[in-house]
Amino acid sequence: MFYKALFIIKIEFLLLLLSMFNLVSFSQDANFIWDYPVKPGMEQWKIVKEEEKFDVCQVPENILKDIPTKELIELCIRFPLFHRVILFDDLITGYNQIRGKFNGFRELSKRKDLDKEMIRLYYDLNINNKIATFTDKEIRKIVAKAWRMEVLISCEVMSQSIDTNLVNEFLLESYKKYTVKKNHPDIFSSFSYQLPLYIMTKSLAINYGGTFDSLLIADPQLDYFMRSCNLPSLHLEGEIVQMAYQYMNQMKKLP
């Protein structure tokens, strides 16, 4: 018990020192990004007990609200326990579970400029037809960042009230990302391309209401996909892509 208590005191002291250091640095440099003081790859991470890992990853409350939204998004994408969303029956449930345990995610939902900052970052996500020429290291980094960002778009951005034009931008960009992923099955798994498909679906539900509702009635699988992000059939995938193409053609926004 003594050694366990001593360990906890040491961790808390370390977090306090690092938080104070990061607070000073952040106030001096607007581009400074607070980082997790204990994370995978560090020796300290190996000795942190499972039940304590969420605690050591929390962003200090005294700087959380001052982190610019763009940097906060990047911070959330790098959250050391983000991968745990896949341990549940579906991604939506998984995200909601870890969201309740990490203050960075909860802060995201309060940001009024989240949609604008997220679409900019989504534009910059380097997923294009040149991806096959990238190094293995570059590809791994892009693949990991892409699915995490798309989970945040799906679960945070698309659950907010956002501008119609921005919804269209998310639809167009997710359509582009989806197409690239489908064209490179050696790089992207089916899990990976379901996420931009889900963003397309959420976008259509917002901006293409009547047509979307008709499909919702005609194909009950769509409701399941909306609730879980688990794609039940290739047929539904084709219906969603066709609807997205039809909508973008009407809006004269085809890529």
Range of the domain at 122: 68-250
Q: What is the pLDDT of residues 47-88, one digit of tens each?
A: 999 889 999 999 999 899 999 999 999 999 999 999 999 999
Give the residue, 5 or 186, on which the prediction is more confident.
186
pLDDT surpasses 90 at 10 = no
| pLDDT of 29 | 40
How far apart CA 202 and CA 204 sit, in angstroms, is 5
Of all helices (H) and strands (E), which one includes residue 169?
helix 164-183
Any domain includes 46? no
Any domain includes 227? yes
Q: How many domains does the chain have?
A: 1
Helices (H), 29-126: 43-47, 53-56, 61-64, 69-77, 91-99, 103-108, 114-124
Any domain includes 107? yes
**Dihedral angle of Cα 166, 170, 176, 181, to the nearest 10 degrees:** 170
Any domain includes 1? no
pLDDT surpasses 50 at 3 = no
- Residue 151, number of CB atoms within 10 A of its CB: 23
Any domain includes 231? yes
| pLDDT of 32 | 54
Any domain includes 234? yes
How far apart CA 23 and CA 5 sit, in angstroms, is 27
| pLDDT of 50 | 87
pLDDT surpasses 90 at 34 = no
Q: What is the pLDDT of residues 167-178, one digit of tens each?
A: 999 999 999 999
Any domain includes 111? yes
Any domain includes 129? yes
Mention every residue, 6+ apart, whose C-beta is less than 8 A from residue 70. Answer: 117, 120, 121
Q: What is the pLDDT of residues 136-165, one digit of tens each?
A: 999 999 999 999 999 999 999 998 888 889
Structure tokens given for 172: 């167009």
- What's the predicted TM-score (pTM) here? 0.84
